[in-house]
Structure 1
Amino acid sequence: MLLRVTEGTRARRVITRSPTRTVGRFPSLKAGRSIHWESQLERDFVYLLEFDPAMLDYREQPETIRLTIDGKPRRYTPDFLVRTASLMVVYEVKPADKAAHPDMVALFAAAADHYAGRGMHHQVVTEADIRIRPYLDNVALLLRYRSHPVDPDVEAMVLDRLAFEPAPLGELIAALAPHADMAEVLALLANRRLAADLARRLDRDAVIRLPGEG
């Protein structure tokens, strides 16, 4: 049985904000606390983890392990530990140019071997994996509305309207006025009560549908 990964403390302190580094925290509903991130790329990855239903829970800097690389001892603290329905995945978030450095390649290969021996998967993700637009922008937008209240009567109206056929977001809002507004529809999308193609820009022309359709 896989345990919750949100339990426990970080293996090291978050690096302090500096003129060359941006750090911050994200209020995670999955983790039930604020998740610390140490770069904007890590922040964007947290958005993806938070929104993806396959990622059941996660935490940052889960542990520090000791590795031996070319006969020399190394300490390594991965960025995130994530639990899915079937396995634990350890993620390293790195800009592509840094991840390709020979020292990093050797470090991550050793880490992958270490975690494979524990029945876990180690994966390096870069901006090419994380900053897929407009998907990332849509996710960041929807996360802002996940706790926005939606009146049950309004939700019923929206679901009834879409039961006949999907509708563009702008048209849907116009049809529901003055009972519903954009924020409520976005909240329903954020909580997967509605669906849209998030690989396309989530604007007034975006087609909104019921989950499981299209």
Structure 2
Amino acid sequence: MRKKSNFADFYESISQKKIIISPKKQRNISLSEISLTGSISSIKNNDSVQFESSLERDFIYLIEFDKKVYRYLEQPFKLFYYQYNTQKYYIPDFYVEFWNGLKQIVEIKYNDDLIANKSVYQKKFNIAEEFCKKNDIEFQILTEKEIRSPKLFNAKFLLSYQNPKYGFNNNDTQIILNVLKQYEQLTVQQLLDISVKSDDKKAEMLYIIWYMVSNYLVYFDNDMKLSMETKLWLPKL
């Protein structure tokens, strides 16, 4: 079993003093009658991850599928600031670490909400940007325009194939690899038709193809929505 992510090293490294240091999420998300809330089981974190909107949920799908992401944490910490002589705090939506060392604080907002509440969010975002500059972290604000793209459809579809509930014949995966080596690039439908002739076997072989795509054993253009006409190829060694 994968070891549960420990964010203590992150909290020990940050330099901002006006911050609550804790390797736990700063706010538990409860059920809401006005927005979609819930949790998703995270393979990367070996834990459940909470969300408080469908847009946050969709962002989680994206980073769960993104092989460049090492780990992430929702509601990571509190940043304190003063407004009208009153101390307030701001909790960013996500902290994300990548395998290449990049670190991000990500705020998830609907575009209409950003526009309508610009004055409310601006102070919080300024505080977040200042904190990120001091700690070598990138600050990002993502809306449905960036999140709800073909990549989201692909992530949600392929995540269901990453960890199959039953085993399959390794010879079948080798057949797919050999066919792609021979033809270099094929559509999903072409790969399926060449790899297996029996109609009874095609459903099983298609499952294996999606498994291989979901685990980056076979590549495709993730900027395009997956279909049977999607072109597949092997990663370059």
Output the TM-score relative to the length of structure 2: 0.80
Q: Give distance in 2, aligned partners of 1:68 and 1:173.
A: 61
Runs of 4+ in 1 over 6 A off after TM superposition: none
Q: Does the residue aligned with 1:26 lie in a helix, a strand or coil?
A: strand
1:56 positional shift: 1.1
Q: Give distance in 1, aligned partners of 2:83 and 2:68.
A: 33
1:29 positional shift: 1.2
Q: Which residue of 1 aligns with 2:113?
A: 98
Q: Which residue of 1 aligns with 2:186?
A: 167
Q: 1:74 to 1:212 in 2, by over 3 A?
A: farther
The amino acid across from 1:161 in the alignment is V
Q: Which residue of 2 aligns with 1:31?
A: 45
Q: Give distance in 2, aligned partners of 1:96 and 1:150.
A: 44
Trace 1:125-204 onto structure 2 (pairs within 5 A): 125-132=142-149, 134-148=150-164, 149-165=167-183, 166-177=185-196, 178=201, 180-204=204-228
Decide which of 46, 49, 53 is 2:60's aligned counterpart. Answer: 46
Q: Does the residue aligned with 1:22 lie in a helix, a strand or coil?
A: coil
The amino acid across from 1:155 in the alignment is T
Contact 1:26 1:34 in 2 (8 A): yes
1:86 positional shift: 2.1
Gap runs ≥5 in structure 2: 9-22
The structure whose Rg is larger is: 2
Q: Give distance in 1, aligned partners of 2:128 and 2:82.
A: 10
| Residues 170-212 of structure 1, C-alpha deviations (whole Å, 9 max, x = no match) | 1212223327422211111010000111222211111111123
Q: Give distance in 2, aligned partners of 1:6 and 1:175.
A: 47
Corresponding residue pairs, total = 208
Gap runs ≥5 in structure 1: none
Contact 2:31 2:38 in 1 (8 A): no
Q: Is structure 2 residue 98 aligned with structure 1 residue 80?
A: no
Q: 1:6 to 1:171 in 2, by over 3 A?
A: farther
Trace 1:111-126 onto structure 2 (pairs within 5 A): 111-126=128-143
Q: Give distance in 1, aligned partners of 2:130 and 2:85.
A: 15
Which one has the bigger helix percentage? Answer: 2
